[in-house]
Structure 1
Amino acid sequence: VIVVNDTGIGISKQEQQKVFERFFQADTEVSILNQGSGIGLSIIKEFVKIQGGNIELESELGKGTRFMISLPLPILNHTEKLNLDFSQTELPATSQLKSDEALTDTDADIRTILIVEDNQDLRDYLKENLKPHYRIVEASDGKEGWQKTLANHPELIVSDISMPNMTGIELCKKIKEDKRTKHIPVILLTALTGEQDQLLGLEIGANDYLTKPFNMDILKVKIKNLLVLNRTLKNTYSKQIKMETAEIVVESHSNKLLKNILKYIEDNINNSQLSVEDLSRNVGMSRGSLYHKVLELTGLSPVEYIRSVKLDKAAALLIKSDLNISQIAYLVGFATPNYFAKSFKLKFGMQPSEYLNQYRKTETQLNSKTLEN
């Protein structure tokens, strides 16, 4: 049994039934320093239940509160001496989390979401619920959130509003005013219910708004819809490039830089190690400058643009050559056929084999109509 006592303001009988509900916060006239978000006790209760235990409370207004946790422990027939060495104060490097590392080229098909929240409990709650589906990067305030945005190029940002150093409103404004980041969708979270606060967030460019307490399932759907919409818009308004086996024709303004980039990618199309650094050196620009320019000209990041060019080339080869899918994957510079197939489906909405079958079916129908005429 674990017992925790305090001599605080206490909890009323009516509110004692609600304190374990997620996001519940008692109404009080007393100003509480560092007031939480209302999910701590909910998380504790879930952990206790997982262990097969039980948690109860006793409280009296003006005198304090007692929490009692009971956990089932097996009875041991013998005891063993346990020697612990606390001389090492740091964790081994291999055990440290890597959730804040920037995406590598091979991870680029995984959606990255940045969570900006100064409350550790709520940030952990968001991370635990979203990490099965997305790569999560964390920041504890708006200033750190801006730095993580530039370093990791997330595809969506979920941010609290009331934070130290830089508020969520200020962060959203900064994101939407910078050409490097203005395309990133932002969802704002707040405990403030006033319409004026919501209106301000939406006016500076926030894509959506949720008031605490919020339903996690609703947040997940909003995130999914914004990511799908952003991807659809990117595909719709990106520069259209027709890839031919012998040459590349750009159906837009003849931009010298874009032509040089296209030529370099085409010349190195079968290089699976082709990187943004190689490309930036070839065109004589820094990686940052190249990122901004390619994003401005194509609507895609350099990594996405390189992959798009390779996939367009692969689609042309599927139709115009006798090579099989694995051969084409290696020919256009993908390290494995499996990663090629995943990337192809992400761009064209179908597997390479389905793409080829659809083309052949369409061609057969056109030939039949021609013969009938």
Structure 2
Amino acid sequence: IDEHTLDGILKQDVIEESDDIKYKYSETEAASQTSTQETETQNTNGKKKSKILIVEDDIDMREYIKNELEQDYHVSLANDGTQGIEQAIKINPDLIISDIMMPQMDGIEFCKKIKTDERTSHIAIILLTARSSQEHKIEGLETGADDYLTKPFFINELRLRIDNIIESRRRLRERFGKLMQIEPSELQITSLDQKFIERAIKIVEENINNPTFGIEKFSRLLGVSRVGLYNKLKVLTNYTVQEFIFVVKLKRAAQLLLSSGMSVTQVCYEVGFKDPSHFSKLFKKQFGVSPKSYKDENSNQSK
């Protein structure tokens, strides 16, 4: 889906009926689903500030890192692993910086819990430690940490590693965006986050002809809150929940137009739209042509 098409969907106010409750979606209203939504501010490079969570029991070190980073990032603090997990679920940071040596729950256990919880597995982690042996470094990385930094460290090196990880996550979102162009049911993916996307697509497909299927039921079937679903999909695909549903539905509609012999109206109802006119508008935004033209053009090419 190209930027022009996505922009068209983003700006399209849509009224969907889900579980007898009407929700109105627009770009602004979808973003308001998350309790962690913040006023957009820019860092010194003119980019939107990313959210960083620092998990560190040493007060002096915690404050030092915070003071060095808060000009360019939204910084939140936790003084141990237990509090860190609570904060990670609550604020959905882009990246976590965690010490390894902490009371109650050390950084290794903390990292394992973050990376094996579907609500937080997408969050990048940099581990900090005073232990410099290769064995300890490997142990940290084996838990799923994205990077590992030995104390003492230069703050500019930490900044560089943060920026590199955040950029790599941006590229990951682009990759998922491209994967969404593959026909539904054809994704072959392995990681925890990728499996989440696969499961989300499967649920939409299983309910694809249900006109009352919406965010409330979608989140319930996935076993996550509406806020958690919004955060997860936005981080992994850069789509809101409703955009994600539309992409899957419209791709299935395109398949049916070419292979089923159904009329445009029949396909509209088959993929869960109640209004053929609204369906045609969204289809044209997605593919650049009306459903009828799409069917006619591709049928002629196959002859």
| Shorter-normalised TM range | 0.5 to 0.7
Distance 2:139 2:35 in 1: 31
Identity of aligned residues (%): 35
Distance change (3 Å), C-alpha of 1:295 and 1:257: farther
Contact 1:239 1:251 in 2 (8 A): no
The 1:181/1:193 distance shift into structure 2, 3 A limit, reads same
Name the residue aligned to 2:224. Answer: 288
Residues 261 and 148 (structure 1), Cα distance of their counterparts in 2 relative to 1, 3 Å cut: farther
**Cα distance 1:146–1:284, how it changes in 2: closer, same or farther (>3 A)?**
closer
Question: 1:310-365 CA deviation, whole Å, 9 max, x = no partner?
Answer: 9x99xxxxxxxxxxxxxxxxxxxxxxxxxxxxxxxxxxxxxxxxxxxxxxxxxxxx
| Shift of residue 126, structure 1, vs aligned partner | 0.5
CA deviations 1:30-88 (Å, max 9, x no partner) are: xxxxxxxxxxxxxxxxxxxxxxxxxxxxxxxxxxxxxxxxxxxxxxxxxxxxxxxxxxx
Contact in 2 for aligned 1:115/1:137 (Cα 8 Å): yes
Contact 1:159-1:188 at 8 Å conserved across structures: yes
1:190 aligns with 2:126: no
Deviation at 1:307, TM superposition (A): 8.7
Unaligned 5+ segments in structure 1 are 1-100, 243-249, 264-278, 314-373
Displacement of 1:234: 1.8
Q: TM-score, normalised by structure 1?
A: 0.43
Please state how far the C-alpha of 1:187 moved relative to its aligned partner.
0.6
Cα deviation, residue 161, structure 1: 0.6
Once residues 257 and 103 of structure 1 are traced to their aligned partners in structure 2, the CA distance between those partners, rounded to angstroms, is 26
Letter of the 1:115 counterpart = I
Q: Which structure shows the bigger proportion of residues in helix conformation?
A: 2
SS in 1 for 2:132: coil
- Aligned to 1:114, what secondary structure does the other structure show? strand
Give the aligned residue type for 2:111.
C
| Residue 150 (structure 2) pairs with residue 219 (structure 1) | no
Specify whether residues 229 and 308 from structure 1 end up closer, same or farther in structure 2 by C-alpha distance, changes over 3 A only.
Answer: farther
Query: What displacement does 1:261 show?
Result: 10
In the TM superposition, what whole-angstrom CA distance separates every residue of 1:75-106 from its partner, at most 9, and x where no partner exists? xxxxxxxxxxxxxxxxxxxxxxxxxx952165
Matches for 1:66-215 after TM superposition, within 5 Å: 103-104=36-37, 107=40, 110-215=49-154
Alpha-carbon distance in 2 for matches of 1:304, 1:262: 21
The corresponding residue for 1:49 is: none
Match of 1:24 in 2: none
State the AA in 2 paired with 1:185.
A
The residue type equivalent to 2:37 in the other structure is: T
Question: CA–CA distance in 1 between the matches of 2:108 and 2:235?
Answer: 26
- Compute the TM-score of the two structures, normalised by the length of structure 2: 0.52
- In the other structure, the counterpart of 1:305 is 239
Q: Which runs of 5+ in 2 are unaligned?
A: 1-33, 42-47, 187-200, 248-303
Are residues 166 and 224 of structure 1, via their aligned partners in 2, closer, same or farther at CA, if it must alter by over 3 Å? same
Distance in 2 separating the partners of 1:284 and 1:212: 41
TM-superposed deviation, 1:185: 1.4
Alpha carbons 1:141, 1:166 under 8 Å: kept: yes
> Aligned partners of 1:194, 1:240: CA distance in 2, in Å?
39
Query: CA 1:178 to 1:166, structure 2 compared with 1: closer, same or farther past 3 Å?
Result: same
- Residue 300 of structure 1 and its aligned partner are, at CA, apart by 3.5
Describe the superposition over 1:206-250 as per-residue Cα deviations: whole angstroms up to 9, x where unpaired. Answer: 1111111100000000000000001101211236567xxxxxxx8
1:295–1:252 Cα change, 3 Å: farther
Separation (CA, whole Å) in 1 of partners of 2:240 and 2:176: 17
Identify if the C-alpha distance between structure 1 residues 256 and 225 changes in structure 2 by more than 3 Å, giving closer, same or farther.
closer
1:270-285 matches, within 5 Å, as 280-281=215-216, 283=218, 285=220
Q: Please tell me the residue identity of whatever aligns with 1:190.
A: T
Amino acid at match of 2:176: Y
- Closer/same/farther in 2, CA of residues 305 and 261 from structure 1, 3 Å limit: farther
Structure 1 residues 239 and 308, CA, compared in 2 at 3 Å: closer, same or farther?
farther
CA gap 1:148/1:197 in 2 versus in 1, 3 angstroms: same
Q: Is the 8 A contact 2:56 2:78 kept in 1?
A: yes
Cα shift readout 1:173-193 (whole Å, capped 9, x = no counterpart)? 111112222222111111122
Q: Residue 173 of structure 1 contacts residue 205 of structure 1 at CA under 8 Å; is this kept in 2?
A: yes
- How far has the Cα of 1:251 moved from its partner? 3.7
- The count of residues paired between Structure 1 and Structure 2 equals 191
Q: Please give the alpha-carbon distance, in whole angstroms, between the structure 1 residues aligned to 2:65 and 2:109.
A: 21
Q: Which residue number in structure 1 is paired with residue 259 of structure 2?
A: none
Q: 1:175–1:121: structure 2 CA closer, same or farther, 3 Å change rule?
A: same
Change (3 A) 1:227 1:237: same
Residue type of the alignment partner of 2:239 = Y
